[in-house]
Structure 1
């Protein structure tokens, strides 16, 4: 299979996976409208993360990835970030949570509106049956809410 065909197939599989995941966990998402476009909202989120003392590990431009294989995708950026003070106790309690940590926030355009969303930390807690880290999950929820509020302005 030529590399270009492989990349197109991989990109479309990823896009379809996002659609399935988004549908499956729709009730566990916190989704907010942003007053800015996707790029500006992502910039504001990263600034808020930096100001909070957390670490940004990656900024993934899904639309650019789609464009690289001659596919179209509305503006969509994933920001991956974390703070070892919050993540480490959860990873110690259940190492499999490392699949979902560090935290991820998705910013996308839908019907002319910029959306910013994330899975509720309790979803992570329930998915992996994490015990003994309730306070950390509460702090994580508060941090995600505060950071996404700052980004959505």
Structure 2
């Protein structure tokens, strides 16, 4: 009975973790968080038409408030080409735009880079018939990340 209960708790916990990470793509970087984000930012700036809106250093923000967290930085960027195909019919999709990439250090000191898959927006916002736009979101973000972490 105890084994069965332990098994069920483990399975339910695992499902919760997987659901929490659904739609998020994560890759490991061989660089530090700042260097990884510098590399991603350079790739975005070099891409045609993309604009960087903000780069948030969460570790610095926490430190300024007397707290301490592992290194983590968020880059917010975009170029607006997905707005017209998505927002007129799915205005709540704007909560996931502009695009974002997070570089962060895990508990073992590994640097990870995470971003939302465009296809996740389809599930989250009930988007239908826009697979090409959502794939472009994933492909563009993956290109920036893949070039920066390898």
TM-based fold match above 0.5: yes
Name the CA distance, whole Å, in 2 between partners of 1:143 and 1:114: 21
Task: Tell me whether 1:73 sits opposite 2:69 in the alignment.
Answer: yes
Q: CA deviation at 1:24?
A: 5.0
Partner of 2:21: 26
Partner of 2:123: 126
Task: Tell me whether 1:112 sits opposite 2:95 in the alignment.
Answer: no
Report the structure, 1 or 2, having the larger helix content.
Answer: 1
Select 2:97's aligned residue among 98, 101, 106. Answer: 101
CA RMSD of aligned residues (A): 1.5
Q: Which structure 1 segments of 5+ residues have no match?
A: 1-21
Q: CA deviation at 1:23?
A: 7.2
Select 1:58's aligned residue among 44, 50, 54. Answer: 54
Q: CA deviation at 1:132?
A: 2.7
Q: Which structure 2 segments of 5+ residues have no match?
A: 1-16
Partner of 1:135: 132
* Structure showing greater Rg: 2
* Alpha-carbon displacement from aligned partner over 1:26-61 (angstroms, at most 9, x marks no partner): 132111010110001101101111111211111000
Task: Tell me whether 1:49 sits opposite 2:41 in the alignment.
Answer: no
Q: TM-score, normalised by structure 2?
A: 0.82
Q: TM-score, normalised by structure 1?
A: 0.80
| Number of corresponding residues | 132
Is the 8 Å Cα contact of residues 117 and 137 (structure 2) preserved in structure 1? no
